[in-house]
Amino acid sequence: MSATNASGESAKSGAVSATVTNTPPPGGLPKRVLVGYLHASFANGSGYIRMADVPNEWNVINLSFGEPTSVTSGDIRFTQCPVAECPNVESEAEFIAGIRAKQALGKKVLISIGGQNGQVQLSTTAARDKFVQSVSAIIDKYGLDGLDIDFEGHSLYLDSGDTNLSAPTTPVIVNLISALKTLKARYGARFVLTMAPETFFVQLGYQFYGPGPNGSADRRAASYLPVIHAMRDDLTLLHVQDYNSGPITGLDNQYHTMGTHDFHVAMTDMLLAGFPIAGNPANVFPALRQEQVAIGLPAAAYAGNGFTTVAEVQKAFDCLAKGTNCGPYRPRGVYPNLRGLMTWSINWDKYNAFEFSRSHRAYLDALG
């Protein structure tokens, strides 16, 4: 090797060898991932699955759910499914050993906070601090790899006048961001942070953001956006729930309805292309990195509204990642590094004869 400037070229150095490698994806995960929620604290009619028996197709296993002692306490608790509901539940020692075995295979096991019944409002700094303390206690007890935020219902909202994406003022938003930053700083670079908002809390922001200028809109509209934006440098995966959703307007200014190929393409395109919030070009939600985004789906028709067949899901992924098999909606770009798929849930997938995990694992692996 040598250096060159206006005076000429320097003497050449001694020979050296170097190997060029690709930068590994963030979070210690493979290029294509399958994310599944595991009913660890309840059965929900689909049957309990022991941690040791979770199939190998899954890369990220979200323990569902950590829930608060009260809506505003910030005190998150996780307990294994009771024997009365889950007769085959393993002991705590077996559960932890199962987690270690999955981690030894390169899987990531997270605690998912919230869910349908776990409303969490960090409306005070005391609740924020309790959230950090109690979530850390769960992560440390079970030796987990990180945290999934699955806040639903009325957990997040925007106060009137809170319109600046980059500088939110609503306490439940500000305190959640602060708590997540503290947890990330505590556990370091390998801490896996994922989020599973509904479309109402994300893509609806193309039309509505909080209560709106006249205060008449639902103040929860798009209220995840400032949290996602604040955490984008630390966010491993965002897998919006493309189910249990009303029609949502895409970047083509047309309504898209769940359960269709085009719905997944349109909703994912919004995350990867970015969009003006409530139509305001001065307040834009910037595009996320491709490797941060996965598509959220029900594992079976009885797992949630908006089930999409295997063939239609893979056509949607083809359209986004390869630019082929597109329907009427044409995405703003081609996204070859789109990360993968999330589903509710591992349990419902087993109940449905593993159709989701086996079909989509093979498809994702073939993509490379």
Give catalytic residue positions. 152
CB 78 within 8 A of CB 138: yes
Range 319-326 contact pairs with CB under 8 angstroms and sequence separation of 24 or more: 319/261, 319/265, 320/264, 320/265, 320/268, 320/269, 320/272, 321/367, 326/265
Cβ contacts of residue 91 below 8 Å, gap of 6+? none
3-state SS class at 226 = helix
Report whether 332 contacts 281 (CB < 8 A): no
Q: Which residues contact 278 (CB under 8 A, 6 or more apart)?
A: 205, 206, 207, 208, 209, 212
First to last CA, the chain: 35
Helix (H, G, I), strand (E, B) or coil at 72: coil
Enumerate the H helices of the chain as residue ranges. Answer: 92-104, 125-142, 171-187, 225-230, 261-273, 310-322, 346-351, 355-367
Residue 249 three-state SS: strand
